[in-house]
Structure 1
């Protein structure tokens, strides 16, 4: 079976089943590995150096183990499937949408708190919608496009080895997990998590730009959203974020939907005035969540079609 077919099967399994909650997920093991290595080395001085060691150990172990498991075809397809997060991301967005439709703001805030690091306790409905839209747009890169990009890259670099796509895809997932666990700009992780955060920015550089400049506008064109505005806002506002990557998908999504991201946001009790992304042509509507999920699905389908074309199944 070709690697293109395996990736396609894995993608379809994710669309149908979503995350395998009742079966151990590889990211859980990566997370435990990160915690154990951190416990061993955090005590040492020169936190930036030892944070780099953490990155090397976790990515090295992930690459090595998945390379071996990738030699077993069933394990390879299963692990490829767990890398994708398309169905999971859609489910989380739809969950917030349904709760908002039920007029249960307290539950909506609580549900959103599982998805974002910002403070949700006092959010109004418009803030809940905006935060949901921003996280769907941003995580389209982390959870779908970037893993797919590295699967294809691994398959091209190691054309004779079936495990290349899996090893590259899962190593990307390890970097992403490191950033989510130690990549915080607080007293504990400012130095220790710096290398992980910078590497995560680096590996998302191309996928974020592919999503914002090509995949979202093309999806908007097909779905008859405002693709012209998606491109215009992308090129205008793609740098309006502290992250070098986050504004790229957010700008295209904001333009396609005719809404504005950014503005006043609270993180860990501190208020931040984030640069705005997009034009405030109207207020947020609950249906914007569904539309953004459609953008996410469309972008993933186009990316998969392009991937299959590159790999020639």
Structure 2
């Protein structure tokens, strides 16, 4: 028995592809972010130490998110089955970010296509954590391809995985964990201990989805006119060339499919960080490479849903 109706999931994916993340539509992640900010202040005062406070932050945030989604679905279903389906579709839709990732990354690509480096750096700063001031065109293309690759896992495949595994409530709980990592999962003095639990748990919940993403990308590559065999080869060779236990897998699959080299030097808060390289520089990082990465994202999503409908439903 499925915890999410196939029609509900298809409706959610359709809403994501049609609407993306419009500002006028209420989004649960905004509420989750406010909850995290409130709990952080409260737990820093009351917890006996930062690590304990961080563990409590993770448990309370993820637990309340799941409970709120579950309760909303129960109430909606009690009103009418169609209301339950609508609530499930809406919650599931807010877990997905394919259209949003495409829209925001395209702003950078369009600015580069016009030759406007300053605008490209500005838009890039909205979607990556690295310093963007002073980046030249090849570095911007690299950052763009890397973020599309990584967020295909975090923003598309992983939410689908948890929606398929445990329904809308589990999908939204995953988004809560992902939001926790983005807000408190930093390795700086303020969050090294307080954000430890959120960062580690985010690694855990993304471990399987990241590897599913890499495999889906290798399967999707020939379908979107890219190299599947090279994607598989580079993923096997360079998938661990990353400080994150998960991000290197989809990045390596994308690098192999496109025939480009990712990684290298990036700056964070003014500090240069030398990352291991991923892939081989067979082709230049360019608009063509970016478009290929976007096609891979949609191809992986389509395969994920198609395989689920074929074998799990």
TM-score grouping bracket, smaller chain normalisation: over 0.9
CA contact (8 A) 2:216 2:300 kept: yes
- Matches for 1:99-118 after TM superposition, within 5 Å: 99-118=111-130
d(CA) in 2 for partners of 1:307, 1:69: 26
How far is 1:10 from its partner? 0.5
- Indicate yes or no: 2:297 matched with 1:296: yes
How far is 1:285 from its partner? 1.4
- Indicate yes or no: 2:151 matched with 1:139: yes
- Indicate yes or no: 2:92 matched with 1:91: no
Corresponding pairs, count: 301
Residue of structure 2 aligned with 1:69, choices 72, 77, 80? 72
- 1:42 alignment partner, SS class: helix
How far is 1:309 from its partner? 2.6
- 1:252 alignment partner, SS class: helix
Q: Match of 1:161?
A: none
d(CA) in 1 for partners of 2:226, 2:44: 49
- Matches for 1:190-209 after TM superposition, within 5 Å: 190-209=192-211
Point out which structure has higher relative CO (alpha carbons under 8 A, 6+ apart): 1
d(CA) in 2 for partners of 1:287, 1:118: 23
Residue of structure 2 aligned with 1:57, choices 27, 48, 60? 60
Q: Match of 1:183?
A: 185
- Matches for 1:174-253 after TM superposition, within 5 Å: 174-212=176-214, 214-253=215-254
How far is 1:310 from its partner? 4.0
Residue of structure 2 aligned with 1:153, choices 165, 171, 190? 165
How far is 1:136 from its partner? 0.5
How far is 1:77 from its partner? 1.4
Aligned-residue Cα RMSD (Å) equals 1.2
d(CA) in 2 for partners of 1:66, 1:19: 19
After superposition, the C-alpha distances for 1:230-256 in whole angstroms (9 at most, x for unaligned) are 000000001000000000000000000
How far is 1:307 from its partner? 2.2
CA contact (8 A) 2:258 2:283 kept: no
TM-score, normalised to structure 2's length? 0.94
Q: Match of 1:305?
A: 306
How far is 1:218 from its partner? 0.8
Larger deviation, residues 81-90 vs 301-310:
301-310
How far is 1:224 from its partner? 2.5
- 2:35 alignment partner, SS class: helix
TM-score, normalised to structure 1's length? 0.94
Q: Match of 1:162?
A: none
Q: Which structure 2 segments of 5+ residues have no match?
A: 77-83
After superposition, the C-alpha distances for 1:254-296 in whole angstroms (9 at most, x for unaligned) are 0000000000110110001100000112321122111110110
How far is 1:45 from its partner? 4.3
CA contact (8 A) 2:226 2:292 kept: no
Residue of structure 2 aligned with 1:31, choices 33, 36, 46? 33
- Indicate yes or no: 2:295 matched with 1:283: no
d(CA) in 2 for partners of 1:310, 1:153: 14
How far is 1:56 from its partner? 0.5
Larger deviation, residues 133-142 vs 285-294:
285-294
d(CA) in 2 for partners of 1:282, 1:146: 29
